[in-house]
A and B are shown apart, each in its own frame.
Chain A
Amino acid sequence: MPAIKEKIKIGGIKLSSELVQLNLMYQGTSSFPASYFFQILTKNQINMPFVSTSFLGGRLQSSCCILPENLGRVKELVQSEDKLKGEIEFIHSVGMVSLFPHQYRLKVLGIVLYALGSTRLPLYGMSSSISALTFITAYSKLDAAVVSLAEYMNLPLNHSPFTPGTP
């Protein structure tokens, strides 16, 4: 398989704290289960720093990330809701990596997929924003993900990927 040779310049990388990912998958004609799920989290003041939802061809998938300290409460809430019981998959200990700016270039996405895929690092989710491309991988592999990306990206000289809590 040919490799990506061109290095691209980016402004920075941001890493999240440890998170838990929740996936809700449903086959049906309505996106109602996703909305209901997010309603429950909102009512309980649970923040989701990442959310994605797709509803195409009768297949609904919603994913979100929460802080680990909210996991027990979310599990209780899900268990007490007949509509959600058994429908949620939990992926423990994940982290987000944000690269910026992506400049709306598919090269950045291509490099992320190539770098993670060729080093067998998991990709649990992804979403772009105005400037950043954010993806989710195993929390224990965040550093490995940065090393793998750095092979194809030039970062500013004094940049160190920062996390919440960076002093």
Chain B
Amino acid sequence: MSDKQLILVVDDDPDLVESLSMKLESEDFRVAKAYDGVEAWDKIKEEKPALILLDVMMPRKNGYEVCNEVKEDPQYQDIIVVLLTAVGDAVTSTSYTHMDGKKNLADDFIPKPIDLDDLMEIVKDNLE
């Protein structure tokens, strides 16, 4: 078993999953990938990652739901969850804006479009 830390990347945009994975692998992390919230839960149970990069807007189960389920489960609540979100100033029409005020339990968040250097800093800071 490798001693590299495992990061789970979850986004329904396969291109973004690929780009983030390549960056993380180049920085010596192991990467697992999931493309929606349901698959993410399977990977969490299967591989217990150290950190999850989690998109918000996804089919089947959104990122807020996955995040809150992780943080409310004693078996997984120590996993660091970083939300990837375009839900910010620029978004004017999405069903997720109504959830802006909802409290979620993520450890950190990164706004999209992601600056890959910022991403690495946030990942490393949170894993320290």
Residues of A whose CB lies within 8 Å of any CB of B are 11-12, 14, 98, 100-101, 129-132, 156, 158-159, 162-167
Interface of A, helix, strand, loop or mixed by DSSP: loop
Q: Evaluate whether A166 and B60 lie within 8 angstroms (CB atoms) in the complex, with A11-B14, A101-B18 already known.
A: yes
Please state if A162 and B59 are interface contacts (CB–CB under 8 Å): yes
Per-residue A-contact encoding for B34-52, CB less than 8 Å = 1, 0 else: 0110110010000000000
**In angstroms, how far is the closest chain A Cβ from the Cβ of B86?**
16
In the complex, chain B residues whose CB is within 8 Å of the CB of A165: 59
In the complex, chain A residues whose CB is within 8 Å of the CB of B33: 11, 101
In the complex, chain A residues whose CB is within 8 Å of the CB of B54: none
A14 CA to B39 CA in the complex, in Å? 14
Residues of B whose CB lies within 8 Å of any CB of A are 12, 14-15, 17-19, 33, 35-36, 38-39, 42, 59-60
A100 CA to B17 CA in the complex, in Å? 10
**Contact among B17, B36, B39 for A131, CB-based, below 8 A:** B17
Please state if A162 and B36 are interface contacts (CB–CB under 8 Å): yes
In the complex, chain B residues whose CB is within 8 Å of the CB of A130: 14-15, 18-19
- Nearest A residue to B59 by beta-carbon distance? A166
Q: What 3 A-B pairs are tightest by C-beta distance, nearest first?
A: A100-B14, A166-B59, A131-B18
Interface of B, helix, strand, loop or mixed by DSSP: helix
In the complex, chain B residues whose CB is within 8 Å of the CB of A101: 14, 17-18, 33
A156 CA to B18 CA in the complex, in Å? 17
Please state if B60 and A167 are interface contacts (CB–CB under 8 Å): yes
A167 CA to B62 CA in the complex, in Å? 9
Please state if B39 and A159 are interface contacts (CB–CB under 8 Å): yes
In the complex, chain A residues whose CB is within 8 Å of the CB of B35: 11-12, 14, 100
Please state if B60 and A156 are interface contacts (CB–CB under 8 Å): no
**In angstroms, how far is the closest chain B Cβ from the Cβ of A70?**
17
Please state if A129 and B59 are interface contacts (CB–CB under 8 Å): no
Please state if B15 and A129 are interface contacts (CB–CB under 8 Å): yes
In the complex, chain A residues whose CB is within 8 Å of the CB of B59: 162-167
- Nearest B residue to A99 by beta-carbon distance? B14
A146 CA to B17 CA in the complex, in Å? 22
- Nearest B residue to A165 by beta-carbon distance? B59
A130 CA to B16 CA in the complex, in Å? 8
A4 CA to B60 CA in the complex, in Å? 33
